[in-house]
Structure 1
Amino acid sequence: MNTRNNRDRLPEAADLTEDIIRLKEEIAPYTIYGAEHIEEGARKQMDIAMRLPVTAAGALMPDAHQGYGLPIGGVLATRNAIIPYGVGVDIGCRMALSVFDITETHFYENEAKYKRELIAHTKFGAGHGFQGQYKSDHAVLEREEFNLTPFIKNLHDKAYAQLGSSGGGNHFVEWGIIEFETRDEVLNVEKGKYLALLTHSGSRGLGATLADYYTKLAKEHCKLPAEAANLAYLDLNTEAGHEYWLAMNLAGDYASACHEIIHTKLTKAIGAEVLAKVENHHNFAWKEVWNGEEVIVHRKGATPAGKGVMGIIPGSMTAPGFLVRGKGEKESINSAAHGAGRQMSRSKAIKNISKDEMKKVVTDHKVTLIGAGLDEAPMAYKDIELVMAAQKELIDIVAKFTPKMVRMADDGSRED
């Protein structure tokens, strides 16, 4: 179920100085999917985004919750403008899935081996990376964009050290069982259950540092009223806007390289053949055509879901995830949810969930958990089934993924 949002006319902010960009008086209409599952804070943030003078369209996904600037789960199309906080701190954060020619039975009979390899070939947490002979190499490190400015060039060493690692917070690498109820002709995978590797993380310290730098730059170039300050944008025709666009794409490709390295290492370690691979990202901005005009579509915690586009929507460490195919729904700006979405903030989860409670839920679901803080407890997330039900018009489910062995940052730390 979705609803249209077109709230009452709002008064303009008073006492604005001449250099402050005024917001539109009215909130442009936008579609909300699963409105009954979305907190008021996220809706208020989206209302403000829909009053920006550069806004062309917007939508709110059913996993939405409050963030900085644009809410997580917010989709915003703008005219020739890019919003660093509309992209997010973890630029190009993504999901990657490999489906193997290994049966469910084989996994259960060799769990110790899969746990050993998972620990050996992954590294998590803020500031963590590889040293010496354990560093990975990838063509992304040779990208010319690293020489775009002295500031970006100085991030190269950090990017090299962290290449192939995962971040903190809700980032994970996990083994699970994926079930195709029918043969998928596009992926060329037969009906059945298979072992799969699912990863979630982004551009590590590179993306976080770029996001912080260009958000500050945007706020210098684009002064908005206090309630909209974190939505400061850069004109793509300016040097700063063009520079951020290139840096954002570099960070996105770097995030993809990290996943590629993790999947390559673990595939080799278990001696498997990959039957299918799917990857999609969020926390990014794309140039797309909407209503006949080119716009910049920001998907902050939202999955691209154009017609035929494959995506992965995870639940939690104990809840199922879904391999999906987009339907290309115009009202959602060709988007869908990127996960279950939080129903508790990190601080609230840490305060209200005990280690014993978390352990019981994980044990009851027969999941082997390596690491993770209380802020990532399954109870901190919305019911993925309700989220999926709220977006049936946006995606078709291709297969269902059930987590079996999950690794996350040991201390639950966030990105650096």
Structure 2
Amino acid sequence: MERLITGTDLLNIGFKENAVLGMTLDLVNRKYASQDKEEVLVLLKNLNDAPESFLEDEALGNLAQAIIDEANKPKNEVIPLVENANGYTIYGEQNIEEGAKNQMKVAMKLPVTVAGSLMPDAHQGYGLPIGGVLAAKNAIIPYGVGVDIGCRMALSIYDIPESFFMENQAKFKRELIAQSKFGAGQGFKGKEKANHDVLDRDEFNINPLLKNLKDKAWSQLGTSGGGNHFVEFGIIEFEHRDEMLNIDKGRYLALLTHSGSRGLGGIVAGHYTKLAKSICKLSREAENLAYLDMNSQEGMEYWIAMNLAGDYASACHQVIHDKMTRAVGGKVLAKVENHHNFAWKEILNGEEVIVHRKGATPAGKGVMGIIPGSMTAPGFLVRGKGEENAINSASHGAGRLMSRTQAIKNITRDDMRQVLKDHGVTLIGAGKDEAPMAYKDINTVMASQKDLVDVVAKFTPKMVRMADDGSRED
């Protein structure tokens, strides 16, 4: 009669192929070899199912502890990608670099991915490409949102006619400098600090990370970052009356701002991306797409922090617009704003998904948004058409034609000055990395997304302020 217990026997009763399996075989075939095999297997099954009950057992106590330790070991298994992943929609493909397309292909292989789309201004980024839209099932990807959480556009349309602005440019330039503050790490001190209800939010107390960021958030409230962030005056033209905004056909002065959640968002993004990578092990090509389960403590914390950062970004724009409006006078006829580095809970094909828009504008049916060009190219006030194939999204701008390094290397200051002069644009600050020539043609981008948005009005920049040193956001 066969008495020897084999590895197959142990696997059949629930043991795993690990170090405990070898320990168990060695122990039972030394100490239990004379006993009935079936009785020993019943004993071992009970041990494996409830090892805590055997911790005091003289013969099996050490093995019970080993089973418990093995079960509590950190899981380092790499989550496999889905090789037969579905394709994604792409707009303006002929003008999108291969790097961005390849990043999108990897994102589509995540086991949580439901759908994806690439906007016509797309270019390579970290994790999800800039201009990438990804719908995920019950999962949030910190790098699918981006480092500058809640980066957004805000537009105030004044009842001030174009002629008044053109005749008083010195005043508007003076106020543009006085009422804005730019650059990585920049903030206000003492009585300069603004106030906003967002600073009273309970979310600042959910964990030490957010609590420690509150003072930084207060200091930077109403400031703008580096890189491509700006505050600018321009002329917005409505070729027809817009009933929704209650604005007649005509040309009006407008204030357009682009910035995000400053240090608050950057630190939150860095913290939860690192946390996601430690929990969600993905292959090297996908590691920057590490995600958090929305039902997990970490996922819920990030969701709360992300929404707080988004509301804080909106508050920063409100402070800037309120200060500028008081300084220049005039009545605000309408205001439009939208995030483009964020994630939303939305319904897609009948199911709730988390839609990540990393450098993409929400464009659900009737939803208004702003798509800027460059410091010399027009921007557009748009209304979404609700195209589900694009996951109700559109581009967030013209998109980069050159990397920052390429722009600095290939564009001269004289070239930049000449382009600004040709377009009648006054520039305050900005580095060569933000030169108009570093960006794609916004008109080509807009032509590629006629199915996604309707143009409501065109905005032409006239006076632009950016970070003096061309610095990146913190």
Per the shorter chain, which TM-score range?
A: over 0.9
For 2:114, what is the secondary structure of its paired residue?
strand
The answer to whether the 8 Å contact 1:125/1:413 transfers is yes
1:10 matched residue in structure 2: none
2:11 matched residue in structure 1: none
The one-letter amino acid of 1:40's match is E
Equivalent in 222, 232, 236 of residue 294 of structure 2:
236
Tell me, in whole angstroms, the C-alpha distance in 2 between the residues paired with 1:291 and 1:324: 24
Tell me, in whole angstroms, the C-alpha distance in 1 between the residues paired with 2:190 and 2:205: 23
The one-letter amino acid of 2:418's match is K
Once the two structures are superposed, residues 296-331 of structure 1 have per-residue CA deviations (whole angstroms, 9 ceiling, x without a partner) of: 000000000000000000000000000000000010
The answer to whether the 8 Å contact 2:76/2:281 transfers is no
Q: Which runs of 4+ in 1 moved over 2 A?
A: none
Once the two structures are superposed, residues 6-25 of structure 1 have per-residue CA deviations (whole angstroms, 9 ceiling, x without a partner) of: xxxxxxxxxxx961000001
Equivalent in 52, 70, 88 of residue 146 of structure 2:
88
Structure scoring higher RCO (CA < 8 A, sep ≥ 6) equals 1
For the pair 1:412 / 2:467, whether they are aligned, the reply is: no
Equivalent in 174, 179, 184 of residue 116 of structure 1:
174
For 1:155, what is the secondary structure of its paired residue?
helix
Tell me, in whole angstroms, the C-alpha distance in 1 between the residues paired with 2:266 and 2:184: 11
Aligned length: 400
1:212 to partner: Cα distance? 0.4
Unmatched 5+ residue regions in structure 2? 1-74
Tell me, in whole angstroms, the C-alpha distance in 1 between the residues paired with 2:112 and 2:92: 26
1:204 matched residue in structure 2: 262
For 1:319, what is the secondary structure of its paired residue?
coil
The one-letter amino acid of 2:112's match is V
For the pair 1:177 / 2:227, whether they are aligned, the reply is: no
For 1:170, what is the secondary structure of its paired residue?
coil
2:119 matched residue in structure 1: 61
Larger radius of gyration: 2
Tell me, in whole angstroms, the C-alpha distance in 1 between the residues paired with 2:157 and 2:466: 20
In terms of fraction of residues, the more helix-rich structure is: 2
For 1:154, what is the secondary structure of its paired residue?
helix
For 1:141, what is the secondary structure of its paired residue?
helix
1:249 to partner: Cα distance? 0.1
The one-letter amino acid of 2:277's match is K
1:6 matched residue in structure 2: none
2:308 matched residue in structure 1: 250
1:164 matched residue in structure 2: 222
Equivalent in 245, 253, 259 of residue 187 of structure 1:
245
Work out the percentage of aligned pairs sharing the same amino acid.
74
The one-letter amino acid of 2:258's match is H
Tell me, in whole angstroms, the C-alpha distance in 1 between the residues paired with 2:328 and 2:102: 48
For the pair 1:106 / 2:164, whether they are aligned, the reply is: yes
Tell me, in whole angstroms, the C-alpha distance in 2 between the residues paired with 1:85 and 1:361: 35
The one-letter amino acid of 2:178's match is A
2:82 matched residue in structure 1: 24
The one-letter amino acid of 1:322's match is F
Tell me, in whole angstroms, the C-alpha distance in 2 between the residues paired with 1:281 and 1:401: 18
The one-letter amino acid of 2:410's match is N
Once the two structures are superposed, residues 318-368 of structure 1 have per-residue CA deviations (whole angstroms, 9 ceiling, x without a partner) of: 000000000000100000000000011111111111111111111111100
1:179 to partner: Cα distance? 0.1
Tell me, in whole angstroms, the C-alpha distance in 2 between the residues paired with 1:272 and 1:105: 14
1:271 to partner: Cα distance? 1.1
1:152 to partner: Cα distance? 1.2
For the pair 1:314 / 2:334, whether they are aligned, the reply is: no
The answer to whether the 8 Å contact 2:398/2:445 transfers is yes
For 1:259, what is the secondary structure of its paired residue?
helix
Tell me, in whole angstroms, the C-alpha distance in 2 between the residues paired with 1:384 and 1:366: 18
Equivalent in 242, 263, 268 of residue 321 of structure 2:
263
1:26 to partner: Cα distance? 2.1
The answer to whether the 8 Å contact 1:27/1:48 transfers is no
2:187 matched residue in structure 1: 129
2:429 matched residue in structure 1: 371
1:272 to partner: Cα distance? 1.0
Tell me, in whole angstroms, the C-alpha distance in 1 between the residues paired with 2:76 and 2:242: 58
Tell me, in whole angstroms, the C-alpha distance in 2 between the residues paired with 1:342 and 1:332: 20
Once the two structures are superposed, residues 160-186 of structure 1 have per-residue CA deviations (whole angstroms, 9 ceiling, x without a partner) of: 000000000000000000000000000
Unmatched 5+ residue regions in structure 1? 1-16
Equivalent in 119, 124, 131 of residue 73 of structure 1:
131
2:109 matched residue in structure 1: 51
Tell me, in whole angstroms, the C-alpha distance in 2 between the residues paired with 1:306 and 1:344: 30
For the pair 1:338 / 2:396, whether they are aligned, the reply is: yes
For 2:160, what is the secondary structure of its paired residue?
coil
The answer to whether the 8 Å contact 2:120/2:448 transfers is yes
The answer to whether the 8 Å contact 2:237/2:457 transfers is yes
1:328 matched residue in structure 2: 386
Cα root mean square deviation, aligned:
0.7
TM-score, normalising length: structure 1: 0.96
The one-letter amino acid of 2:407's match is A
